[in-house]
Structure 1
Amino acid sequence: MDLQVRSEVRGGWTVVAVSGELDADTVPVLSDLLEETPNRQVVVDLSGVPFMDTTGLSLMLDWHRRLDGAGGQFRMASLQTSVYKLFRLTELVEVMHIHESVEDATS
């Protein structure tokens, strides 16, 4: 399954909408888009991601560390149950900024 990504600016936040499976084959698509984003306040909308492997998890953790360490903010929103379970099993729910919706993440 191909990964589709698009971004838009909402109230000072870059919101990146992701659709498709996020795995070793597709992570570079999202990684490239994040690299091109000049904004240091980013929300990744994962509502369209039914599956994420540890490669996707690593990308999310890397961007969390990069932006939060540089005075920015990295948030994720609208995780499907299977993706949320991955963060819970790896005990990253307490570390990452996970929100119910994009609106919650940007407020």
Structure 2
Amino acid sequence: MDASGTPRPRIVVDLSRVTFMDSTGINIFIAAHRSLTEAGGWIRLAAPTEAVLRLLQIVGVDAVIDCRETLRQALSR
């Protein structure tokens, strides 16, 4: 998720087909959040499955990165 050189980069990640995530995925999202925020942009996570949403909530990622219930919601401003 490299958006270097992009002014105010915005990334929406569709998680609707992700059934498992571990610390590697969490760390990628946190690193992307940091770099995108520093560049004046953002990352949104869209449509996480129940298992993935539960993990995001347990580790607190949902409090740091904007998580939306649907892809449509994530794409809206």
TM-score normalised to the size of structure 1? 0.63
- Report the aligned-residue RMSD: 1.7
* 1:28-43 superposed matches below 5 A: 34-35=1-2, 40-43=9-12
- Within 2, Cα distance between the matches of 1:38 and 1:82? 34
- 1:69 positional shift: 1.9
Q: Aligned residues, how many?
A: 74
Moved over 6 A (4+): none
Which residue is 1:6 aligned to? Answer: none
Letter of the 2:37 counterpart: D
Kept after mapping to 1: 8 A contact 2:46/2:71:
yes
The one-letter amino acid of 2:14's match is D
SS state at 1:52 partner: coil
Paired residue for 2:13, among 11, 32, 44? 44
**What residue ranges of structure 1 are gaps of 5+ in the alignment?**
1-33
Sequence identity (%): 34
| Pair 1:66 & 2:35 matched | yes
Q: Is 2:16 the partner of 1:78?
A: no
The one-letter code matched in structure 2 to 1:46 is L
What is the distance in 2 between the residues matched to 1:38 and 1:86?
A: 32
Structure ranking higher in strand proportion: 1
Structure 1 position 102, deviation (Å): 1.3
Q: Secondary structure of the equivalent of 2:51?
A: helix
The answer to which structure has the higher helix fraction is 2
Q: What is the TM-score when the length of structure 2 is the normalising length?
A: 0.85
* Partner SS for 2:56: helix
Structure 2 runs not aligned, ≥5 long: none
